[in-house]
Chain A
Amino acid sequence: MSVMCRKLCSSILFEHFGQIVQCVAEDLFKHGARPLELIRYATQLPLTKVKEALCVLIKHGFVRYSQAEKGLEFSLIYENVLLVLRYPKYMFFVKTMCGDESEMILEEVLMNGYITASEVITKAYKKIEQSPSGLQPSVPVLKEKFELLVKNQFLIHTVEERRNEKPDFILPNLNLTAIIKKIEGDNNSDPGDSKIYWKVNFDRLIQDLRDQIIVSAIRRRLDENAGELMRQLIFLMYLRTASWAHTSNPIPLTEIKEAVKKTNYPLLTHHVDQYLHLIEEDSSQFLKRVGDSGGGQFSVNMKEAFEQLAWATLENIVMERFGSKAARIFRLVRDKKYIEQEQIQQLAMIPAKEAKHLTYTLLQENYIQMQEMKKSGVSAAPIKTFFLFHIDLNVVVYMEVEHCYHALYNIMQRREYEVNSNKRMIDKQLRMQTLTTNLKEHGATEEQLAEVLTKPLQSNYLQIADMMTPSEKQQLDKVQNTIKKLGITELQIDDTLFLLTMYLRYH
């Protein structure tokens, strides 16, 4: 893959795992699968550290190993590294689907790569205990939530790579009393699920985010009711079709009606036919009528849907980068498939010079492609050649994916820079925070604590707050705001990236 992708992966790993892991992974990225000794040689790190880094990478599913002629070979799965960018979205999705406790469980699993059920419940219990939110920790509830996650297939068994077992979702019998004992500090109790590890089923979560995109697209195009109908259709699609199929098997109208009846949308139940007709007629072509028997057979067309969404995204990008006139030309070229310069300026109704300028800009930036057509037999002089403009969607999407990588990398670098250049201040604030919380916790022995603390702090909070001058506070606010903005931009770029990778997956 590209240099940008490598840099992005590398800075993601640096942000989460530090320099050594980054170093090892980057070496794997550059050279593909290779044995331990070569990694050590190339990175110049101590052997134990290389091993430790590889352990971390394997545990989080970023590195896979295979038996080669001479010992093991390790290789990086960069796609999984890029998934880290989307972890918060997965957590949030699970939160909305299954509740706060489930989110915590998922977070724990993400933090550990893979983990046993009892361990994750113990950890989540302790976390809830410490967190200030009003949740009451309880082992049975957590276990229930865990089961819910498994039932929804958000979590999956890990299987050893050597054996070709199919991953399953069977939950082991957990010994609840043993878990409770463990939480209370008894390390000898056995919860009965040792060596049964769970990891996050990313495939499932990716599908869910994909469905979310489709539903929200319909909701924005039509209305809330249509969105709900689309959700039901996707749900029906799951029942009869493999999860990554391009189009669903036909769904009869009667079944759609039945499914809609169960939902709480009276208006939708009333006008199912009309809504179906609307979605079907819509230019986005998410839905296709494939038969007339039984009142009509419908099929969800995922492949087409993502092509349309990718087009829409690209149009928006062109619009924001080059203005609405350029977007008009872009749409025109798309519509006509192959078109000459002359026609562009006529049909787009843009003055000749401007039209040419915009077309060439788009060509230069690779948003449209040019095809030469020479008349056979006539001299090859350029005057006799047709220059046809067209758009190769795959090329443009690949380019845009690269842009996303680039933008993400730049933002991460910028964020890193902002943090580093204001490190002193951020550290200071952190110190102050810990001091005040410490003091508050030990309210009774405050004076004793004050003695331990350095002199200018003394005992009361006021003075601690005074440690920062107003200008410093202002600066800190500014920096934190910048960092937050950059972080949020990262999340949004990742949305685009996700949509485009979904398109590439289907095409």
Chain B
Amino acid sequence: MAGRGRGRGKSSMSISAEQLGFAKGETLPPPVLQPPLKYPLLEYKPLPLNITTELSYLFELKKGYAEYMRESPNNVLPIVVKKDIERYSDRYQDLITDKSSYEIRYDWSRMPVELKRQLRKRKKQKLESPKKKQKHIDVESKLRELEKKESSQQSDIEEEEKEEEETEEKDDEQVEEEEEELDEEMDEGTDYANNYFDNGEGYDDEDDNLDDGPIY
């Protein structure tokens, strides 16, 4: 359409102004160069709001419901990060907020079990972990024994430490997953105390050994 028009020397618009309702010679509206207003003026005012008692009551119901839902445990709250200092009011805050986990509120015969916090997995790990633990401790304690024997020979110490670090690392990979359980096990482990008297350099960057702080 437009292609043909161009050839004849007519205006390139496909529709003539007359068709749009402008008489010949009438000035066309000026082009709009500004974006429309954010809040355009209303040509027709909206009807006044008629507040009946029924509507007021409905509004009260609505408000009440929304407020209840927000206060109820249905409002999932984010985990609060521990603040810089302990405040006196915190103790009362704890009493007000319901600390119980969400699991007890649901009947799990009606909910997908997948949504439960995974307790079962943890237990399994707990059962397995002691064996693993034992092994590592054995290795380590042997290393220590060796270390003691060789303590007089300064030159060898560095090598020993490297080995230690390696075992550490292996250890840590498992430790990360089962931190809590491991910690407990550690406390019970009888030969753990022996390990204490290591010069400690290998432990520098490990979180679990923060307890060893005083030694330095």
Contact = CB atoms under 8 A, between A and B. Distances in A.
Given A20-B76, A20-B78, A487 B1 contact: no
Interface stretch (A47-55, A280-288, A307-315): A47-55
A360 B29 CA distance: 15
Given A49-B76, A49-B78, A487-B63, A323 B44 contact: yes
Interface of A: 15-21, 36, 46, 48-49, 51-56, 58-60, 65, 71-72, 87-89, 91-92, 107, 110-111, 114, 158, 160, 195, 197, 320-323, 352-353, 356-357, 360, 380-383, 484-485, 487-492
A208 to B, nearest CB: 16
A20 B44 contact: no
Interface in B7-49: 14-16, 19-21, 43-44, 46-47, 49
A111 B115 contact: no
Contacts of B199: none
A-B pairs, top 5 by smallest CB distance, nearest first, are A356-B21, A88-B61, A18-B75, A16-B69, A20-B76
Contacts of A46: 79
A71 B114 contact: yes
A485 B106 contact: no
B85 to A, nearest CB: 22
Contacts of B77: 18, 20
A31 B106 CA distance: 27
B148 interface: no
A111 B67 CA distance: 11
A17 B74 contact: yes
A56 B74 contact: yes
Given A114-B110, A197-B107, A321-B44, 6 more contacts: A53-B76, A55-B111, A55-B115, A59-B111, A356-B20, A484-B59
Interface string B65-104: 1101110101111110000000000000000000000100
A492 B56 CA distance: 12
10 contacts: A16-B70, A20-B77, A55-B115, A87-B62, A92-B57, A320-B47, A322-B43, A322-B44, A491-B58, A492-B55
Contact of B111 (A58, A92, A111): A58
B17 to A, nearest CB: 12
Interface centre among A52, A91, A353, A490 (most CB of B within 10 A): A52
Contacts of B75: 16-18, 21
B65 A87 contact: yes
A356 B15 CA distance: 15
Contacts of A59: 74, 106, 111
B114 A88 contact: no
Given A18-B70, A55-B102, A488 B59 contact: yes
A107 B58 CA distance: 13
B112 interface: yes
A354 B115 CA distance: 63
B190 interface: no
B58 A357 contact: no
B51 interface: yes
Contacts of A49: 76, 78-79
Nearest to B63: A487
